[in-house]
RNA sequence: GGGCGGUUAGCUCAGCGGUAGAGCACUACGUUGACAUCGUAGGGGUCACUAGUUCGAUCCUAGUACCGCCCACCA
């Protein structure tokens, strides 16, 4: 209901004229996804910041949206079709299938938005965008065309990471290396015209069918004499050269390496250097493709083995083919040895299939060129990473960036705006009509064009997100006002996927960084330090936590744990603790209300007269300062703990307790002031807590004023307080003295097992007139909070237990109420401890270098501590004597 | 192989050149009119190890050990 009220009031919308803008774009979640812990953390931090800046008067735009998530979504829908035993993707055909995906998007597309709302995310939902909206699609096409025109997007035939399950190319970033136990086969290749063999080692013997050379190191004495000779490739009969290439490492394997340019990235480079043929021996599904393969038979001499190879191996899956080939070679005596071998196998991060380096035509972005200004922008501090050390990671990757393969053989996504003429000539244009016109001009007549079937990598559209969501390519007022955005908040796992690419696109298209700051937060991981995932079964569902403890508690926990480490291991007990915190606040508000503490127009906290009121004004000022500073520096955890400490341990524990005697008294003026101050301080607490716990604070904000004037507006739109210099040293000194005194007495009572119900008198002796007056002023408080019977001054009675506070001795006449043995033991222990403290301090003060080099206040502190310790020890000795005498 | 991070209370984690902190858990007492989803008090730490810098190191430097992440490569 609160969230709805905010929404209905348009509280999330930007547009404060005259205010400085503050813009943030959401990392778009998968449109058909569901809120997980990473989203919860990410969006909590954004919302904390957004609410903070909104309260500080900025014109805040939090731009929300969702991502079409090409592969992921397509896979989900395909799986759905399979589960429902409906016709699969190919049977449906492209158009029908895409329709189904859109249908699924409509069905599930609002789930994540609803979940973000439950979390309290104050995005401007009226501006919700989707990466495949018409506007954003137009931006994609325009950028594609412009980059193509600039030569920064091009089509190229080279090796890509091919996923033989999803039947698409993927980018380097989507490949994961997995350690796998396998074998290393040492194959004997016969050298032409001799009876000799050259032995090559390989983990993938089946690729030998596509070998077009054997490489040895030019300086390798073992093989020098073979350079320039040929090998007859077993089974195939192809004559292939032995070449010298520095790539070959004499230390590895046998020092001779087979070269398969069409199926290995390194071999591809070697192949180019030596102008070797590239023979593709696999089809898209990673089955051996030999029959009718013109490449394959090139350079093959008539060879009886060949027929066998072709017939048996054609159409066999790569791993089955491997076994057949190994068996055959073994039968021919061409296997030197087989070793057990652990090596990294590349797998697709979505499908898990072993990735095949595969020779195809794909579209590429010239990332190397685009990276230059993007690197420069960070080097010059136009964009700053927080924490800063992520810049190292960013630079390292950007400086070694490879061409970005952006075409995907999928159906769900932005179809590439390229059309092919009858002769294969490419026409790249934003619209089909433009391509048609260009083609007509080229051919001199109208021709039928065929559109490129591929779609773009999901991250291509994400890279445009900071400006495409603001209306680009149109020159919208939003674009002018909110670009560049202020801060991007995201996890480190997508620095390469997303942050780097936004930097590149932003610099190229907008000629300006997309954001001033990038706050990189930790990943919420499981206890093994791995990303949470459903398949591992150890996810904590944020929605369950919201159900159990409330969104406020979850948000506070996440903010409090957002320190700049790398992992967050979420403990439910922590969430529970912060739920209790919300309850505590609720109860404090109830107390306030019961005591008729209501906001008073025109109340000026700086004019307060009652000491405790002046003190709380100063304390809330300190809280304001530390929370503001922390949030400005993205130190969410510090801000969270500052407000927690202020509300619980300052406001509830002490202030509310200290004012009880005042409220119970009959000084009407003091009561009135205290009521006003309580309400003021509580309002202040709600305000400072609001970015973290928006729901409970907003609710209390409304409740606490309803009986009097009512609130004109939401807390979320209330101004963040300005500093007013409310600290008051005198009040601080006085209240902290009271707090210490109460704590001391409580501690002694507890330690000596004085029954809680037993009230005892307290005698203060040796105190200055000031201190006596001070104690007298707080008599009610002392009697109540320390559970004392009376307060008097003068000579301590015989048998009283003494404690020392500052210059005063406090005597509690406890003889008869307490366990004397235990107490005297305690005193002795205490005296011993003080003795060793004094020794340590003496040693320090005797050290000339300490005295001369340490900062003055540190030395002074030590001296004071020594004086105190000595005095305390002396008094404890006396107390001990008296205690013993009393028995 | 390159890079980055971690190691602090039983657990989950903050912090920091000047006597170690929070939440949870634990122990004892307590229902005093906001709050038992609570209060008060308490126990529990050679701040991983070694060497150095420093008057002083949990903190800075170098190294060691273990844990983890990212990138690259693997014949």
* A 216-275: CB within 7 Å of strand B: 247-249, 252-257, 264-266
Provide, rounded to the nearest whole percent, the portion of chain A with pLDDT above 90. Answer: 43
Residue range A786-807, pLDDT digits in tens: 888 888 898 888 778 888 887 7
Give residue A139's pLDDT.
96
pLDDT surpassing 70 at residue A306 = no
- Written as six digits, the tokens of A367 are 């990332």
Asked whether residue A350, judged by its CB, lies under 7 Å from any atom of the DNA or RNA strand B, the reply is: no
Amino acid A565 CA to nucleotide B54 C1' distance, rounded Å: 29
DSSP, res A20? P
Give residue A532's pLDDT.
54
DSSP, res A353? P
- Written as six digits, the tokens of A14 are 């930007």
Closest residue (Cα, C1') to B11 = A571
Q: Which residues are CB-contacts of A766 (< 8 A; sequence separation ≥ 6)?
A: A807, A808, A809
Question: By the 8 A CB rule, do A687 and A55 touch?
Answer: yes
Higher pLDDT, A273 or A143: A143
Amino acid A754 CA to nucleotide B29 C1' distance, rounded Å: 9
Considering only CA atoms, which of A570, A538, A401 is closest in space to residue A40? A570
Q: Which nucleotide is nearest to A568 (CA to C1')?
A: B13
Quote the CA–CA distance of A477 and A485 in Å, as a whole number: 14
pLDDT surpassing 80 at residue A78 = yes
H/E stretch holding A775 reads: helix A769-777
Asked whether residue A750, judged by its CB, lies under 7 Å from any atom of the DNA or RNA strand B, the reply is: yes
Mean pLDDT of A139-166: 93
The stretches of A570-667 forming alpha helices (DSSP H) are 572-594, 611-632, 636-644, 656-664
Mean pLDDT of A195-215: 89
Give residue A618's pLDDT.
93
Asked whether residue A583, judged by its CB, lies under 7 Å from any atom of the DNA or RNA strand B, the reply is: yes
Amino acid A721 CA to nucleotide B52 C1' distance, rounded Å: 49
Question: By the 8 A CB rule, do A247 and A220 touch?
Answer: no
Give residue A230's pLDDT.
87
pLDDT surpassing 70 at residue A650 = yes
Please state the pTM of the whole predicted model. 0.92
Q: Note if the bond before A231 is cis, omega within 30 degrees.
A: no
List the single range of A257-271, A443-457, A871-885 with lowest mean pLDDT: A871-885
Residue range A331-355, pLDDT digits in tens: 888 888 888 888 888 988 888 889 9
Residue range A757-796, pLDDT digits in tens: 788 889 998 888 988 999 998 988 888 888 888 888 988 8
Amino acid A653 CA to nucleotide B39 C1' distance, rounded Å: 9
Dump the DSSP string for A801-820.
EEEEETTEEEEEE-TTTS-H
Quote the CA–CA distance of A615 and A732 in Å, as a whole number: 6
pLDDT surpassing 70 at residue A533 = no
Asked whether residue A64, judged by its CB, lies under 7 Å from any atom of the DNA or RNA strand B, the reply is: no
Residue range A368-409, pLDDT digits in tens: 999 999 999 999 999 999 888 888 889 989 998 989 999 999
Asked whether residue A858, judged by its CB, lies under 7 Å from any atom of the DNA or RNA strand B, the reply is: yes
Amino acid A416 CA to nucleotide B61 C1' distance, rounded Å: 55
How confident is the prediction for chain A on average, in pLDDT? 88
Q: Which residues are CB-contacts of A77 (< 8 A; sequence separation ≥ 6)?
A: A89, A97, A100, A101, A104, A412
Amino acid A569 CA to nucleotide B64 C1' distance, rounded Å: 28
Amino acid A574 CA to nucleotide B27 C1' distance, rounded Å: 22
Of the pLDDT bands very low, low, confident and very high (cuts 50, 70, 90), residue A490 is very high
Closest residue (Cα, C1') to B12 = A571
Dump the DSSP string for A486-526.
EEEEEEGGGIIIIIHHHHHHIIIIISS-SEEEEEEEPEEE-
What is the β-pairing status of strands A760-765 and A788-793? parallel
Give residue A527's pLDDT.
43
Asked whether residue A171, judged by its CB, lies under 7 Å from any atom of the DNA or RNA strand B, the reply is: no
Residue range A698-740, pLDDT digits in tens: 999 988 876 556 677 889 999 999 999 898 999 998 998 899 8
Asked whether residue A652, judged by its CB, lies under 7 Å from any atom of the DNA or RNA strand B, the reply is: yes
Give residue A529's pLDDT.
46
Rg (CA), chain A: 38
Mean pLDDT of A191-207: 88
- Written as six digits, the tokens of A740 are 């210490």
* A 804-833: CB within 7 Å of strand B: none
Closest residue (Cα, C1') to B38 = A584
pLDDT surpassing 70 at residue A564 = no
As ranges, strand B nucleotides with an atom below 7 A of a protein CB are 3-6, 11-15, 18-19, 22-25, 28-32, 34-35, 37-42, 54-56, 67-75
Closest residue (Cα, C1') to B41 = A750
Of the pLDDT bands very low, low, confident and very high (cuts 50, 70, 90), residue A365 is very high
Q: Alpha carbon of A760 to those of A532, A755, A767, A786, A793: distances in Å?
A: 58, 10, 20, 10, 14
Asked whether residue A389, judged by its CB, lies under 7 Å from any atom of the DNA or RNA strand B, the reply is: yes
Dihedrals phi, psi of A404, to nearest 5 degrees: -95, 115
- Has the ipTM of the complex gone over 0.85? yes
Amino acid A99 CA to nucleotide B14 C1' distance, rounded Å: 51
pLDDT surpassing 90 at residue A659 = yes
Name residue, tokens 């919302």. Answer: A47
Amino acid A571 CA to nucleotide B62 C1' distance, rounded Å: 36
Amino acid A563 CA to nucleotide B53 C1' distance, rounded Å: 29
pLDDT surpassing 60 at residue A536 = no
Quote the CA–CA distance of A99 and A97 in Å, as a whole number: 5
Q: Which nucleotide is nearest to A589 (CA to C1')?
A: B34
Of the pLDDT bands very low, low, confident and very high (cuts 50, 70, 90), residue A528 is very low
Amino acid A653 CA to nucleotide B29 C1' distance, rounded Å: 19
pLDDT surpassing 90 at residue A141 = yes
Q: Which nucleotide is nearest to A531 (CA to C1')?
A: B69
Asked whether residue A399, judged by its CB, lies under 7 Å from any atom of the DNA or RNA strand B, the reply is: no
Give residue A89's pLDDT.
86
Sheet strands (E) in A382-514: 384-386, 404-405, 407-408, 418-420, 426-428, 450-451, 455-456, 485-491
- Written as six digits, the tokens of A351 are 């499908």
């Amino acid at each position: 209901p609160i969230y709805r009220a905010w929404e209905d009031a348009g509280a999330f919308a930007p547009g404060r004229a005259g205010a400085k803008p503050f813009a943030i774009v959401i990392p778009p979640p998968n449109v058909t996804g569901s809120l997980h812990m990473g989203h919860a953390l990410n969006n909590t931090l954004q919302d904390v910041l957004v609410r903070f800046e909104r309260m500080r008067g900025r014109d805040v735009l939090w731009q929300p949206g969702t991502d079409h998530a090409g592969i992921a979504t397509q896979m989900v829908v395909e799986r759905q079709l399979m589960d429902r035993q409906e016709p699969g993707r190919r049977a449906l055909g492209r158009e029908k299938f895409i329709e189904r995906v859109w249908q699924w998007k409509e069905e599930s597309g609002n789930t994540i938005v609803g979940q973000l709302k439950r979390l309290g995310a104050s995005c401007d939902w009226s501006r919700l965008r989707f990466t495949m909206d018409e506007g954003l699609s137009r931006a994609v096409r325009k950028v594609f065309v412009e980059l193509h025109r600039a030569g920064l997007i091009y089509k190229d035939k080279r090796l890509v990471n091919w996923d033989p399950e999803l039947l698409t190319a993927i980018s380097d970033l989507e490949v994961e290396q997995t350690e796998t136990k396998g074998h290393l086969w040492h194959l004997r290749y016969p050298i032409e015209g001799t009876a000799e063999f050259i032995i090559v080692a390989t983990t993938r013997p089946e690729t030998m069918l596509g070998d077009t050379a054997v490489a040895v190191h030019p300086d390798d004495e073992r093989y020098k004499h073979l350079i320039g000779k040929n090998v007859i490739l077993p089974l195939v009969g192809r004559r292939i050269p032995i070449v010298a290439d520095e790539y070959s490492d004499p230390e590895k394997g046998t020092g001779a390496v087979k070269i398969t340019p069409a199926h290995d990235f390194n071999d591809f480079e070697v192949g180019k250097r030596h102008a070797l043929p590239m023979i593709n021996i696999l089809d898209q599904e990673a089955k051996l493709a030999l029959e009718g393969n013109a490449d394959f038979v090139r350079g093959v001499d008539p060879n009886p083995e060949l027929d066998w190879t072709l017939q048996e191996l054609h159409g066999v899956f790569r791993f089955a083919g491997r076994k057949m080939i190994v068996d055959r070679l073994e039968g021919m005596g061409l296997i030197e040895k087989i070793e057990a071998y652990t090596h990294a196998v590349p797998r697709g991060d979505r499908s898990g299939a072993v990735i095949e380096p595969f020779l195809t035509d794909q579209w590429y972005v010239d990332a190397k060129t685009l990276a230059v200004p993007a690197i420069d922008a960070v080097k010059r501090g136009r964009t700053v990473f927080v924490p800063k050390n992520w810049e190292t990671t960013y630079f390292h990757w950007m400086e070694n960036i490879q061409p970005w393969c952006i075409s995907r053989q999928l159906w769900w996504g932005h179809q590439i705006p390229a059309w092919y003429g009858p002769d294969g000539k490419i026409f790249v244009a934003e619209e089909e009509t433009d391509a048609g016109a260009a083609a007509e001009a080229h051919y001199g007549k109208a021709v039928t064009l065929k559109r490129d079937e591929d779609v773009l990598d999901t991250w291509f559209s994400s890279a445009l997100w900071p400006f495409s969501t603001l209306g680009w390519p149109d020159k919208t007022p939003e674009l002018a006002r909110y670009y560049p955005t202020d801060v991007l908040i995201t996890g480190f796992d997508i620095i390469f996927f997303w942050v780097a690419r936004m930097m590149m696109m932003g610099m190229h298209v907008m000629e300006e960084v997309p954001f001033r700051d990038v706050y990189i937060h930790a990943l919420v991981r499981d206890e093994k330090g791995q990303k949470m995932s459903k398949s591992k079964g150890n996810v904590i569902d944020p929605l369950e936590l919201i159900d159990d403890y409330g969104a406020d508690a979850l948000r506070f926990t996440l903010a409090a744990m957002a320190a700049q480490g790398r992992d967050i291991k979420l403990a439910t007990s922590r969430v529970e603790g912060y739920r209790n915190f919300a309850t505590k606040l609720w109860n404090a508000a109830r107390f306030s209300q019961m005591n008729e503490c209501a906001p008073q127009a025109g109340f000026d906290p700086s004019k307060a007269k009652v000491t405790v009121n002046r003190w709380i004004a100063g304390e809330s000022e300190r809280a304001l300062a530390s929370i503001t500073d922390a949030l400005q520096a993205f130190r969410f955890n510090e801000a969270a703990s500052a407000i927690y400490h202020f509300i619980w341990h300052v406001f509830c524990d002490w202030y509310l307790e200290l004012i009880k005697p005042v409220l119970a008294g009959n000084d009407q003026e003091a009561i009135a002031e205290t009521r006003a101050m309580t309400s003021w301080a509580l309002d202040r607490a709600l305000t400072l807590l609001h970015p973290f716990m928006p729901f409970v604070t907003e609710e209390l904000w409304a409740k606490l004023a309803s009986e009097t004037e009512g609130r004109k507006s939401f807390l979320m739109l209330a101004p963040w307080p300005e500093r007013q210099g409310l600290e008051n040293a005198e009040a601080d000194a006085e209240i902290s003295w009271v707090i210490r005194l109460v704590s001391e007495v409580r501690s002694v009572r507890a330690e000596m097992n004085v029954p809680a119900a037993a009230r005892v008198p307290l005698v203060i002796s040796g105190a200055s007139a000031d201190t006596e007056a001070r104690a007298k002023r707080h008599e009610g408080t002392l009697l109540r909070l320390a559970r004392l019977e009376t307060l008097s001054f003068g000579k301590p009675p015989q048998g009283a237990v003494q404690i020392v506070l500052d210059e005063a001795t406090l005597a509690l006449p406890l003889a008869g109420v307490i366990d004397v043995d235990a107490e005297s033991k305690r005193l002795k222990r205490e005296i011993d401890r003080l003795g060793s403290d004094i020794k340590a301090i003496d040693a320090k003060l005797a050290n000339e270098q300490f005295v001369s080099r340490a900062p003055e206040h540190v030395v002074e502190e030590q001296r004071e501590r020594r004086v105190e310790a000595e005095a305390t020890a002396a008094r404890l000795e006396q107390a001990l004597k008296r205690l013993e005498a009393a028995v």
